[in-house]
Amino acid sequence: MIPYTTTRDTTAGHDPRFGTDHGVGLDRLGAALLLWWGVQAQFEERFGAEEAAHMRASLEEVVQTGFMPWAE
Protein backbone atom coordinates (compact mmCIF):
# COMPACT_ATOMS: atom_id res chain seq x y z
CA MET A 1 0.00 0.00 0.00
CA ILE A 2 1.26 3.47 -0.86
CA PRO A 3 0.99 5.75 2.18
CA TYR A 4 -0.94 8.95 1.66
CA THR A 5 -0.23 12.29 3.26
CA THR A 6 -1.61 15.73 2.58
CA THR A 7 1.67 17.45 3.47
CA ARG A 8 3.66 18.47 0.41
CA ASP A 9 6.99 20.22 0.00
CA THR A 10 6.32 21.95 -3.31
CA THR A 11 9.38 24.19 -3.08
CA ALA A 12 11.54 21.46 -4.61
CA GLY A 13 8.78 19.73 -6.58
CA HIS A 14 8.78 16.94 -4.00
CA ASP A 15 5.60 15.12 -3.12
CA PRO A 16 6.10 12.82 -0.10
CA ARG A 17 3.17 10.63 -1.16
CA PHE A 18 5.43 9.20 -3.86
CA GLY A 19 8.73 9.16 -1.94
CA THR A 20 12.06 10.46 -3.08
CA ASP A 21 13.27 7.41 -4.99
CA HIS A 22 11.48 7.71 -8.31
CA GLY A 23 12.78 4.29 -9.34
CA VAL A 24 10.74 2.75 -6.53
CA GLY A 25 7.73 4.77 -7.68
CA LEU A 26 8.15 3.52 -11.23
CA ASP A 27 8.45 -0.04 -9.95
CA ARG A 28 5.18 0.36 -8.03
CA LEU A 29 3.51 1.89 -11.07
CA GLY A 30 4.70 -1.00 -13.23
CA ALA A 31 3.37 -3.54 -10.73
CA ALA A 32 0.05 -1.70 -10.54
CA LEU A 33 -0.26 -1.62 -14.32
CA LEU A 34 0.28 -5.37 -14.53
CA LEU A 35 -2.51 -5.89 -12.01
CA TRP A 36 -4.76 -3.40 -13.83
CA TRP A 37 -4.26 -5.10 -17.18
CA GLY A 38 -5.05 -8.47 -15.61
CA VAL A 39 -8.26 -7.16 -14.07
CA GLN A 40 -9.26 -5.52 -17.36
CA ALA A 41 -8.73 -8.82 -19.18
CA GLN A 42 -10.91 -10.64 -16.61
CA PHE A 43 -13.58 -7.95 -16.94
CA GLU A 44 -13.66 -8.29 -20.72
CA GLU A 45 -13.81 -12.09 -20.48
CA ARG A 46 -16.81 -11.96 -18.13
CA PHE A 47 -18.61 -8.88 -19.46
CA GLY A 48 -17.66 -9.30 -23.10
CA ALA A 49 -15.08 -7.34 -25.10
CA GLU A 50 -17.68 -5.68 -27.33
CA GLU A 51 -19.88 -4.69 -24.39
CA ALA A 52 -16.83 -3.33 -22.53
CA ALA A 53 -15.88 -1.25 -25.58
CA HIS A 54 -19.43 0.16 -25.76
CA MET A 55 -19.35 0.99 -22.06
CA ARG A 56 -16.00 2.78 -22.38
CA ALA A 57 -17.29 4.73 -25.37
CA SER A 58 -20.36 5.78 -23.38
CA LEU A 59 -18.21 6.88 -20.45
CA GLU A 60 -16.00 8.87 -22.83
CA GLU A 61 -19.10 10.63 -24.17
CA VAL A 62 -20.06 11.62 -20.61
CA VAL A 63 -16.56 12.98 -19.98
CA GLN A 64 -16.65 14.95 -23.23
CA THR A 65 -19.79 16.80 -22.06
CA GLY A 66 -17.72 18.52 -19.39
CA PHE A 67 -19.70 16.88 -16.59
CA MET A 68 -17.28 16.69 -13.65
CA PRO A 69 -19.14 16.40 -10.34
CA TRP A 70 -15.85 16.00 -8.48
CA ALA A 71 -14.50 19.36 -9.73
CA GLU A 72 -14.70 22.30 -7.37
Which pLDDT score, from 0 to 100, does residue 70 have? 73
Handedness of CA 12, 18, 19, 23 (dihedral sign): negative
Which pLDDT score, from 0 to 100, does residue 13 have? 53
CA–CA dist 35, 28 (Å, integer) = 11
Question: What average pLDDT does range 31-47 have in this prediction?
Answer: 94
Amino acid at 69: P
pLDDT, tens only, 4-34: 444 444 445 555 665 566 677 888 899 999 9
35 and 9 Cβ atoms separated by less than 8 Å: no
Nearest Cα neighbor of 3 from 14, 16, 22 is 16
**Is the model's pTM score more than 0.85?**
no
Which pLDDT score, from 0 to 100, does residue 6 have? 45
